[in-house]
Structure 1
Amino acid sequence: MRVALFVTCVTDTLYPGTGRATVALLERLGVEVDFPAAQSCCGQPQFNTGYRREAEPLVRRHAEAFRGYDHVVTPSGSCAAMVRENHPRIAARSGDAALERAVAEVAPRTYELSEFLVDVLGVTDVGAYYPHTVTYHPTCHGMRTLGLGDRPRRLLENVRGLELVELPGADQCCGFGGTFAVKNAAVSAAMGADKARNVEGTGASAVCAVDNSCLMHIGGTLSRRGSAVRAVHLAEILAATEDGAGHGSGRSTRDGMGRNAR
């Protein structure tokens, strides 16, 4: 089984620890992971802002970079949704039959991490240990576009030492929304404040999600409020073990993954 990691630009640039945790987790489960160096942005910022033609070269680059793999795994619900839902639409409008064929090969084989673990590998207990109280925020793309359902929760429920607590208003958007946060900063900040208050109200020491973009927004809001609650990606929790192997948050690291991912 040939598996490639689509790390995403947010993770590569700001949260490389999540990418490393994803690789550590998958390799612990017996999966050999490749990192195609030609990968770049999936085009989601351009597409969501209305620059659909400008997103086309990125779609083409993505399809070429991940051609030939049995599965493409990404620690991002929003980027998985972009590839599966919107790359085929962009390819269809391009008028390029070769691009359509290339995208048709890659898009259906792209999985968000929890989907790959539960649906492809058939596991919900990955041998993780994380002795903290955690609340889970289901991100909009993961919940509404991919339909992740209870997959992330099932994985968290099987982590030893972890106490999972319910998040009030869990189905409400955190307010990030990519360029929405830039164009509608006041509304975005207000939504983020509502989410942060709900997170704090759970008494959890960490809030977990499948998207670093949402965690960046929630975590930043919590930090500005002086909260001790940490924003932690699902991959980092699942990679954590009792001996500390596989768990290293890269939230404050800026080294990226680049060509040295492995």
Structure 2
Amino acid sequence: MEPGFGWMVFTALVGESVAIYGLLKSANQWYYVSRLGREQYPLPPGDMGWPLIGNMWSFLFAFKYGDPDSFISNMVARFGRTGIYKAYMFGSPSIIVTLPETCKQVLMDDERFKSGWPKSTNELMGRKSFLGFSGEEHKLLRRLTAAPINGHKALSMYHEYIKEVTINSFDELAKANRPIEFLIEVKKITFKIIMHTFLGSEVDPMMKTLEEEYANLNNGLRAIAINLPGFAFYKALKARKKLVKILQAVVDGRRARKSSNLSETQQDDGVVNGC
């Protein structure tokens, strides 16, 4: 093969790669922005990212490596300090605002700006969760669920349990004779107390399973909604099914005991006893 021909092939491959790269990078821009018409819908500067994925790779990368501000800093460096940018986030065309005044306007104007969540979050949390309601419906649901544990009198029933769990947990950590991540350990203690408060002592034997599955569920809330093995959303959906199965068994057991007039102390029953 002649050297000249080899360079021609190499140049053609490089040119083709650049063309494909440019085409893919422009696909979202053409599809979502160009069809709106500039005169009718003037949009802020920004980058719509890759097809389907959008800007999520750089967004998740910034959070994973502990530098979330770098995502916005990159926008500012590329498009100027405008305070508002277009992007493609969580499977939808999005507008990102960064100025305090603009953020305040968006967050406080319930008539023109409705609260919403990514598809992955809605599917994992459910349509009837707190996230699925707004306004008066949200306030009503919050009052109904928070009433049993609001106030000093309600929480005083769990004081001894909270004290016991906290002391025992710190004793175990002290005996471990190894470095610990304090925030993670405190989260575990808090999770154990919350589960006991809402579900009662019968979930104590399965606390580790609940903790692991909840962690898997939480990891999928901000992930891209790709339901394929290896993705966080896929793992979160499996965790949700396991958690629903466990919680449903607890609720069914409470209802069965209640119908059979089998009473337990209010502290041991937990909040779910009111179901």
TM-score (normalised: structure 1): 0.26
Greater helix content: 2
Larger radius of gyration: 2
Greater strand content: 1
